[in-house]
Amino acid sequence: MTRVVLVGPPGAGKGTQATALSRELGVPHISTGDLFRAHIANSTELGQDVKRYLDEGKLVPDEVTNEMVRTRLEEADARGGFLLDGFPRNVGQAEVLGKLLSTAETKLDAVVEFKIDEDVVVERLLARGRDDDNESVIRHRQEVYRTETAPLLDYYADLLITVDAVGGVDDITARVLAALRDRS
Ligand code: ADP
């Protein structure tokens, strides 16, 4: 179970879980949000191009995102597996990921859905206070999740593992690891 995609609404705790799971599973945590924010912090050309999408809670155009992920997955540490956090975020990106993996003669092992009520997470995100964590941008990101990202749950029905994302950080990590173990 080394090639895993994490899906869940903004604030579901994917990033926190990915850090712990990456340690447990020994594969890199690849977060498209983190990659974009690093580009923005370093004022790269890509960072300058994508900043307005992040500020508004909109998806960065697929060409930019797909290319950034393709490059990242080609790095040596991702050859043996990865935890993808925040990618794919729509069916088009999922199709591109499928092609990238089949070209590399591999495939996904599991898609983990973090299930949590939207209203529970708004408070949590407001407390986190990242640049794009103000209420209207959060609400917009949630809408994007419902319309663009949630269809992935059907797309990946065969690989899907749904985990209750309400609870303590360590408990949730244990739930994910147990569910992955059951599958393999
Ligand atoms: P959250 O899970 O709280 O929404 P992320 O760090 O995953 O936070 O994403 C922050 C922002 O980065 C998104 O609102 C979007 O602008 C951009 N982004 C991240 N991943 C993708 C992606 N796969 N496709 C397009 N845009 C993305």
Between the alpha carbon of residue 30 and those of residues 101, 126, 165, the distances in Å are 15, 24, 20
CA of 82 to the centre of ligand 1 (A): 18
Asked if the model's pLDDT at residue 68 lies above 70, the reply is yes
Domains observed in the chain:
2-183 (3.40.50.300)
Q: Which atom of ligand 1 is nearest to the CA of 8?
A: 2
What pLDDT is stored for residue 174 in this prediction?
97
Say which residues have a Cβ less than 8 Å from residue 9's Cβ, sequence separation at least 6. Answer: 114, 116, 118, 121, 142, 145
What pLDDT is stored for residue 91 in this prediction?
98
Report residue 1's pLDDT band, with 50, 70 and 90 as the boundaries: low
Asked if the model's pLDDT at residue 184 lies above 80, the reply is no
Pocket of ligand 1 (CB under 6 A): 10-11, 32-33, 36, 53-54, 57-60, 65, 86-87, 89, 93, 141
